[in-house]
Amino acid sequence: MPDFKIISDSCCDFTVNQMQELDVVRVPLSIIMNDTATPDYATDEERHELYDAIRGGAMPTTSAINPEGWSEYMKPILDEGKDILCLCFSSGLSTTYQSAVIAAQELREQYPDRKINVVDTLCAALGQGLLVWYACSHRDAGESLEEVTAWVEENKLRICHWVTVNDLFHLKRGGRVSATTAIVGTMLSIKPIIHVNDEGKLISVAKARGRKAATEFIAAKTAEAIDKDNVFVAHGDCPEEAEALAAILKEKYGFKNVHIGYVGAVIGAHTGPGVLVTFFLGKKR
């Protein structure tokens, strides 16, 4: 048994069952809809319902984890006599990481014999999930807390995220594109290509004319993956398109395994339905 526990916030987008299988503690952010805050959705069924609500006109917002929220999940681990590796949602997109740092500083005073390593993954969604998965693989191979932490720090900027969205008006609502861009882009069927940069921020890097071209673009970028056995495709409640993208990766680019999952509620609340993303380990972002 390892003498440390991996903990990650819900923005890694694994379901609660997947987190349990990986033996990772899940700390949820909050989803706010109709003035009611609930813990981030833990199943794909709940995520499907969220996207249906957005299609129906709902405008959910999200709330980061505060230091007290992190402490609530960290304390039981420390009480067991175990150390912690905490892998957090990108600081370029949320204050969740900063809150974990504050919580860890306070708990180190209460538990001076325990180690709490907090990592800003600079990743999001299943990109963060992929980094968590690699960390678990190294843990299960018998590596120590410090060895796993070092691997994560050395490789986190090699986790690549390639994104296309289907509806520019959701990006407009979040302030990422102007109203004019949303209107003209929709009329011309322009699909932005977005990735996560080295600062952990979402930036637009290209445009494609139509959904098919956008899908082919991110597939071509994904072909640069170093580890073709562990590539994730995530979708905003458009599973057929995710399956089609996975087929391209397998048939055209020789990928052996492509793991498909949902873009979770935290990111999905801002991108809306139809977002399509690939995540993989590359040479660099």
pLDDT on residue 158: 98
pLDDT on residue 184: 43
Q: Do 184 and 149 share a structural domain?
A: no
Instruction: Single out the residue in 97, 125, 156 at which a domain terminates.
Output: 156
pLDDT on residue 245: 98
Task: Give tens-digit pLDDT for 25-63.
Answer: 999 999 999 899 999 999 999 999 999 999 998 989 999
CATH number of 132's domain: 3.40.50.10170
User: What does the block give as tokens for 225?
Assistant: 């993956």
Comparing CA positions, the residue from 98, 76, 83 lying closest to residue 9 is 98
The DSSP letter of residue 40 is: P
**Sign of the C-alpha dihedral computed for residues 120, 123, 129 and 135 taken in this order:** negative
Residues contacting 107, CB < 8 A, separation 6+: 71, 74, 75, 78, 114, 116
Instruction: Single out the residue in 135, 156, 177 at which a domain terminates.
Output: 156
Q: Do 223 and 261 touch, CB atoms closer than 8 A?
A: no
Q: Do 86 and 110 share a structural domain?
A: yes
Angle among Cα 101, 129, 73 to the nearest 5 degrees reads 40
Report CA dihedral (274, 192, 243, 59) to the nearest 10 degrees: -20
Neighbouring C-alpha atoms within 13 Å toward the C-beta of 280: 27
CA distance 130 to 187: 35
Q: Do 167 and 257 share a structural domain?
A: yes
Q: Do 183 and 52 share a structural domain?
A: no
Q: What is the mean pLDDT of each run of 10 residues along the chain (285 residues)?
A: 92 97 98 94 96 92 97 98 98 97 98 98 98 98 98 98 79 52 52 92 88 96 95 97 97 95 94 94 96
pLDDT on residue 200: 97
Instruction: Sort 68 into a burial class: Cβ within 10 Å, 0-12 / 13-18 / 19+.
Output: exposed
Structurally, the chain folds into a number of domains equal to 2
Q: Do 120 and 97 touch, CB atoms closer than 8 A?
A: yes
Domain that holds residue 242: 158-281
Instruction: Single out the residue in 156, 188, 215 at which a domain terminates.
Output: 156
Q: Do 15 and 132 share a structural domain?
A: yes
Q: Do 73 and 46 share a structural domain?
A: yes
Strand 83-88 relative to strand 4-9, pairing? parallel
pLDDT on residue 202: 86
